[in-house]
Structure 1
Amino acid sequence: MTSDICKVISVARIKKHKNLFLNYKNLNQFPLELLKDEGLQYLERLFMKRNSLTTLPENLAQKLPNLIELYLHSNNIVMVPGTIGALIKLQYLDLSDNALTIVCPEIGRLRSLRHLRLASNQLQFLPPELGNLKELQILDISANHLTSLPETLHLCLSLQILTADQNRLWCLPRQICQLPNLNELSVAGNCLLFLPLDLGRSRELQYIYVDNNIHLSGLPSYLYNKVVGCNGCGSLLQNSEAKLLSFTSGQLSISLPVEVNTAGVAADSVLPLQELTMRVLHELYSKKDLNFLSPVSLPRSLFELLKYPLGHCHRCSQPMFTIVYPKLFPMRETPMAGLHHGRMAIGYVAYCCSAQCLKSFQLL
């Protein structure tokens, strides 16, 4: 550590500075001067971007107890000690562009944390203790190796923006739909096969980006009238031609005979027999006339759909169960379109229950 850095830290200690900038200092270890004696008790914001740090000291919270913001972007940090959980006042933590392979569960003790940035690391999973972060508003976990997200994320009741682009996610936990304040969800560049059927049901969720998920061939009907980025996804959303979308739940896939699958396409007004049956059963169920039917009589996934359909037709409000007809409307010229210009294709996706509704539905 150079004498210049020691001098900067010494002045900060004497003058009780609240902000300390140590960016671009070629540091390969945490400055011992920061941890000397009682540390910097008045320091609230520490900037240490673009250095070569590999770890953090165990006594960080003891020496810098009043930290509110800690910026460690672009270092070589491999692990963060569990003692970081003692930074009870910390509101902003940036560990982006490091070499993290795990996140310690003690991070869930940062109850004041509002912004957590873990982008561009080597994370393969996240600890369920993230759900303890009740004040968390922004979570950026993009550009990692994540294959799933913790189901406990729905406990982050203040979460407004969740960015998980460029990972290996093949699905999203259904519990994520329960986030009451989530306004923006970005999961572009993953391996998503489907989205939770309830995604978009919350009025707060307005922006959903699923670009470049090549296996994603449909969107939940609740995303209608949302700002949706779907450029580079499955062929189903590349044009307005209606195609069959079979229902899949987890490892259970409902397969239909070939002759039934061909019914209900745009050139034919006949719906698949399974869809017609489900609609009749749903009508009986809603009238409480389905006492004779038990979960054993139908696959569990279909029985649950009797209570909660896949969606409702935007043209006639008919419930839909095993087949939907998506129709893509390019986004009109609005200030919101200009805001996202150049990032992705944005549009409205309408879902209809039949070829007739698909043809007659138009945005007002």
Structure 2
Amino acid sequence: MASELHEAIFMAKQERHKNLFLNYRNLNNFPVELLKDEGMQFLERLFMKRNSLTTLPENLAQKIPNLIELYLHSNNIAIIPQAIGELVKLQSLDLSDNALQIICPEIGQLRSLRHLRLANNQLKFLPQELGDLRELETLDVSMNLLRTLPERLHQCVSLQCLTADRNLLHCLPRQLCLLPDLNELSMAANCLTSLPLDLGRSMELQFVFVDNNAHLKGLPSYLYNKVIGCSGCGLALQISDMKQLCLTLGDVTVPLPSEVKAIGSESERVLPLEELACRVLHAAYDWTCKDVKLRTPFLMPKSLLDVVQWPLGHCHRCSQPMFTIIYPKLFPLRETALAGVHRSTVSFVAYCCSSRCMSTFDLQA
């Protein structure tokens, strides 16, 4: 293995390769051959994924000054040297799946950086100097221990995709609403209780993922026409074989949704009863029959009939109709025939939305 490594580096130096692949080499230390003599002045892309590196050399920028892309995914790197800021041409830096606890402020000196990936580390905070990265387009800090994001992050005026899933975030800096090019914002599986009211005001922001934030009670009205990610309809993908509960309405027997069996269980998420009732009525009603009098042996008020007849959407996972909770891939109701129907029933829908819902709309907006 060592001889293969030496040969690969020797050939790269001899032929002045711009790309060097050192993935899966069982490296515990940064190869000294890369740093000998004048180093590798011509190297632009260095791939060192899936090794066991614990740190980077202090003279990396001096020996490989023209690096454009540096991929260090899946190592054991705990410390980034301050000299990282001297890689002034670096455009892509991947330090995902390492052991980082701190990111040095000098990272803000990488003024050419466009893509920064720090996912799956042990970061508890990020330096404010990230705001100096004016060319940054992608930032992934998911699966860390972050409780907040830097307020100066809004100075990353080129930022298009911000991912911070699976952290401990309780809120988002309102300044994020100022990001002019932000197109995708993913904050799934955090501790969010609210979102900035101006979030989504920018026409550029089109995708917002906030599923698995159990205490998030609502969404800003500006997100109404965006694509929203959430946890689906609430049903498990695999239906239990247990005997179904049934509801008898006159001569009609209607099977109840499987969630009803979970009521009272702390380990199961229970949907609002209004949502369950709408699904039962929707399933029991014969919408194909044109004669209203012949549809079912039970009658519903017209206001309730309108709600049950037109779901807000269907779950992207199981196609289950959804009535009082937000549809994960919502198409703007304002542009459909449903807009008038749901505007007239806004009080009913607003009442049905409960704090158990992962995300709901303020339909009055």
> CA 1:197 to 1:328, structure 2 compared with 1: closer, same or farther past 3 Å?
farther
Which aligned pairs between 1:172-251 and structure 2 lie closer than 5 A?
172-231=172-231
The aligned residue for residue 105 of structure 1 is 105
The aligned residue for residue 9 of structure 1 is 9
For residues 210-264 of structure 1, what are the alpha-carbon distances to aligned partners after superposition, in whole Å with 9 as ceiling and x for unaligned? 00000001000000110001227999997987xxxxxxxxxxxxxxxxxxxxxxx
Over 6 Å off, 4+ runs = 232-241, 349-352
Q: Name the SS of the counterpart of 2:11 in structure 1.
A: helix
Q: Is the 8 A contact 2:212 2:231 kept in 1?
A: yes
The aligned residue for residue 162 of structure 1 is 162
The aligned residue for residue 253 of structure 2 is none
Aligned sequence identity (%): 65
Q: Name the SS of the counterpart of 1:93 in structure 2.
A: strand
> CA 1:155 to 1:237, structure 2 compared with 1: closer, same or farther past 3 Å?
farther
How far apart are the structure 1 equivalents of 2:47 and 2:115? 15
> CA 1:215 to 1:348, structure 2 compared with 1: closer, same or farther past 3 Å?
farther
> CA 1:11 to 1:355, structure 2 compared with 1: closer, same or farther past 3 Å?
closer
How far apart are the structure 2 equivalents of 1:202 and 1:19? 39
For residues 307-341 of structure 1, what are the alpha-carbon distances to aligned partners after superposition, in whole Å with 9 as ceiling and x for unaligned? xxxxxxxxxxxxxxxxxxxx9932699xxxxxxxx
How far apart are the structure 1 equivalents of 2:183 and 2:108? 22
The aligned residue for residue 68 of structure 1 is 68
Which aligned pairs between 1:25-104 and structure 2 lie closer than 5 A?
25-104=25-104
Give, as a single letter, the amino acid of the residue that structure 1 aligns with 2:346. Answer: L
CA shift at 1:29, angstroms?
0.3
> CA 1:360 to 1:190, structure 2 compared with 1: closer, same or farther past 3 Å?
closer
- Alignment of 1:345 with 2:322, yes or no, is no
Q: Name the SS of the counterpart of 2:312 in structure 1.
A: strand
- Pick aligned residue for 2:346 from 324, 333, 358: 358
How far apart are the structure 1 equivalents of 2:174 and 2:197? 8
Q: Name the SS of the counterpart of 1:181 in structure 2.
A: coil
Task: Identify unmatched segments of 5+ residues in structure 1.
Answer: 242-326, 334-343
Q: Is the 8 A contact 1:143 1:164 kept in 2?
A: yes
CA shift at 1:356, angstroms?
5.4
TM-score by length of 2: 0.67
Task: Identify unmatched segments of 5+ residues in structure 2.
Answer: 235-268, 276-309, 317-326, 350-362
Give, as a single letter, the amino acid of the residue that structure 1 aligns with 2:224. Answer: Y
> CA 1:240 to 1:69, structure 2 compared with 1: closer, same or farther past 3 Å?
farther
How far apart are the structure 1 equivalents of 2:274 and 2:9? 62
How many pairs were matched up? 266
Give, as a single letter, the amino acid of the residue that structure 1 aligns with 2:230. Answer: C
CA shift at 1:346, angstroms?
2.9
Q: Is the 8 A contact 2:315 2:328 kept in 1?
A: no
Q: Is the 8 A contact 1:167 1:189 kept in 2?
A: yes
Give, as a single letter, the amino acid of the residue that structure 2 aligns with 1:162. Answer: L
Q: Is the 8 A contact 2:207 2:226 kept in 1?
A: yes
TM-score by length of 1: 0.68
> CA 1:191 to 1:36, structure 2 compared with 1: closer, same or farther past 3 Å?
same
Q: Name the SS of the counterpart of 1:46 in structure 2.
A: strand
CA shift at 1:349, angstroms?
8.2
CA shift at 1:99, angstroms?
0.1
> CA 1:232 to 1:148, structure 2 compared with 1: closer, same or farther past 3 Å?
farther
How far apart are the structure 1 equivalents of 2:128 and 2:273? 39
CA RMSD of aligned residues (A): 3.0
How far apart are the structure 1 equivalents of 2:273 and 2:15? 64
Q: Is the 8 A contact 1:149 1:172 kept in 2?
A: yes
Q: Is the radius of gyration larger for structure 1 or structure 2?
A: 2
Q: Name the SS of the counterpart of 1:131 in structure 2.
A: helix
Q: Name the SS of the counterpart of 1:347 in structure 2.
A: coil
Give, as a single letter, the amino acid of the residue that structure 2 aligns with 1:15. Answer: E
Q: Is the 8 A contact 2:233 2:315 kept in 1?
A: no
CA shift at 1:10, angstroms?
1.1
How far apart are the structure 1 equivalents of 2:141 and 2:187? 10
Give, as a single letter, the amino acid of the residue that structure 1 aligns with 2:62. Answer: Q
Q: Is the 8 A contact 2:90 2:110 kept in 1?
A: yes
How far apart are the structure 2 equivalents of 1:178 and 1:54? 37
Give, as a single letter, the amino acid of the residue that structure 1 aligns with 2:133. Answer: L
Give, as a single letter, the amino acid of the residue that structure 1 aligns with 2:330. Answer: G
> CA 1:328 to 1:179, structure 2 compared with 1: closer, same or farther past 3 Å?
farther
Give, as a single letter, the amino acid of the residue that structure 1 aligns with 2:329. Answer: I
The aligned residue for residue 294 of structure 1 is none
> CA 1:79 to 1:237, structure 2 compared with 1: closer, same or farther past 3 Å?
farther
CA shift at 1:348, angstroms?
5.6
Q: Is the 8 A contact 2:170 2:192 kept in 1?
A: yes
Q: Name the SS of the counterpart of 1:208 in structure 2.
A: strand
How far apart are the structure 1 equivalents of 2:315 and 2:203? 21
For residues 191-228 of structure 1, what are the alpha-carbon distances to aligned partners after superposition, in whole Å with 9 as ceiling and x for unaligned? 00100000000000000000000000100000011000
Q: Is the 8 A contact 2:155 2:179 kept in 1?
A: yes
